[in-house]
Amino acid sequence: MTRSVAVVGGGSWGTALAIVLARHGYEVALWVYEPELAQAMATERENRVYLPGFALPPGIRPTAALEAAVAPLLVIAVPSHALRATLTRLRPLLPPAAEVVLATKGLEEETLLRVSEVAEAVLGDGIRPRLATLSGPTFAREVAAGDPTAVLIAARDAALAASLQQRLASPTLRLYTSGDVIGVELAASLKNVIAIAAGICQGLGLGSNTRAALIARGLAEMSRLATAAGGQAETLAGLAGLGDLVLTCTGELSRNRALGIALGQGRSLAEAQASTPMVAEGVRTTAAALRLAERWGVEMPILRQMHRVLFQQQPPRQAVAELMQRSLKPE
C-alpha cells in the first residue's frame, strides 16, 4: 500500500525531510511557498535556492497549492514566524484524523508560545493527541546526503510517538521518543541564540577555550529556563539539548553561527541577514526568550548580552568583557 505524507515548507529542512521520506518509500507532496520555485523544482528536480546539489527522488511532488499538499500525515517545516499563518491556512484543509509533526524550531515572538502551543491555538485542543514535535542535531544537507542522523520525536501521547518512530525511522534517520514536549521545544529554540554567540566569538578571533565555556554555560542557561517552564533537565542533556547545541555552535553549516561570525567581524545585523536567503531563527528567538526568562524569573546572562548585541548596538567585544566581569560564584 502506498504511504503518503505532506511536507509543508520547501526550504532546506523541509526539502531534506522530503528527500529522506521519499527514499523510505513515501509519496511526498512538498508545499513550496514561492510558486516560481515550486515550478522550477518540479521541472529541474532540485531545490537550487535552498538545497542545491541534491536530486529530488521521483516520489516527491512539489506544489505551491496548499490544498494539494494535504495528507493523513503532515510534517510542518516552515520558519517559526510563518507557523501561525501557515497552520491557519491549513486548518480547513486537514483530514479529520490527520497527524501533524512539527519540524519547526523557535518561539512565537508576539505571544512567546512554543511551536506546539501555536499549533493547538490554531488547530484546537482536539489536535493534541495527534500532534508531535521533531527535533535534534540536524543539518539539512547532511540529512539529504544520507549521513547517519539521530533525532527525537516528542509527543504528549506516548502511543503516537512510538507509532511515528516506527513509521518515520529509516536506515539513515534514527528516531528516539520523548514525552517532554516543553523541554524539547525550548531546547530547539534556545540553542540558536547560543550558536549566534559562538559565531560572534569566532568572528572576534577567540579560541576553543572560549567556545567550550560558552557551550557549557549556554547549556546551563537553557536548562534553567526549560525546567522553570516545566521541562525535564535530562532532556537538555540529550539530542534536543546538548546534541543540537554542539552542532549549531561548531558546525560549518550552522546559519546562526554564520550570522554570529559576521557580527563578530563587524557587520551589522541587517548586513548579516541579507547575505543569505536562509532564516537564522536565533535572532527572533533572542527577543522572545528574554521576555520568557523575565516571566519565569530565570537569570540568563548570555541571552541578555545577545539581546544587547542584536537589538541595542552593544559591541560584541564589550558583551564578552561584561560576561567575564560578572560577579564570581559557584557553578
Sorting pLDDT into bands at 50, 70 and 90, what band is 287? very high
Pair (32, 149) in one structural domain: yes
Q: Which stretches within the chain are classed as H helix?
A: 12-23, 35-44, 83-90, 115-123, 140-145, 158-168, 181-203, 208-228, 233-236, 244-250, 255-264, 269-274, 281-296, 301-311, 316-324
Q: Which of 132, 164, 179 is the last residue of a domain?
A: 179
Query: Taking 70 as the threshold, does the pLDDT of residue 257 lie above it?
Result: yes
Neighbours of 129 (CB within 10 A): 13
pLDDT value at residue 64: 97
* pLDDT for 281 beyond 90: no
Q: What is the pLDDT of residues 171-194, one digit of tens each?
A: 999 999 999 999 999 999 999 999
Residues 192 and 260 in one domain: yes
* Gyration radius from the chain CA atoms: 19
Q: Does residue 329 fall inside a structural domain?
A: no
Percent of the chain scoring above 90 in pLDDT: 92
Grid cell at residue 278: 536562509
Quote the CA–CA distance of 214 and 133 in Å, as a whole number. 27
Distance CA 195, CA 218 (A): 9
**CATH code: domain of residue 43:** 3.40.50.720
Q: Please state, in angstroms and rounded to a whole number, the distance separating the CA atoms of residues 176 and 169.
A: 9
Distance (Å, whole) CA 194 – CA 260: 10
Q: Examine the domain organization and report whether 168 and 223 are in the same domain.
A: no
Q: Are residues 97 and 215 in the same domain?
A: no
**9 and 100 housed in the same domain:** yes
Q: Is 191 a catalytic residue?
A: yes
Residue 137 and residue 97 share a domain: yes
Which residues, in sequence order, are CB contacts of 268 under 8 Å at separation 6+?
A: none
3-state secondary structure of 238: coil
90-134: pLDDT as tens digits: 999 999 899 999 999 999 999 999 999 999 999 999 999 999 999
- How many Å apart are CA 213 and CA 194, to the nearest integer? 11
Last residue of a domain, one of 179, 210, 234: 179
* 313 in a structural domain: yes
Question: Would you say residue 124 lies in a domain?
Answer: yes
Predicted pLDDT of residue 277: 65
Structural domain count, the chain = 2
**Residue 282 binned pLDDT confidence (cut-offs 50, 70, 90):** confident
Same domain, 277 and 314: yes
* 331: in domain: no
Structural domain boundaries enclosing 127: 3-179
Return the pLDDT at 1.
44
Q: Greater confidence, 235 or 270?
A: 235
Mean pLDDT in residue range 68-90? 96
Do 150 and 266 lie in one domain? The reply is no
pLDDT of residue 274: 82
For residue 292, being part of any structural domain is answered with: yes
Annotated catalytic residue within 61, 84, 130, 191 = 191
What's the CATH number where 259 sits?
A: 1.10.1040.10
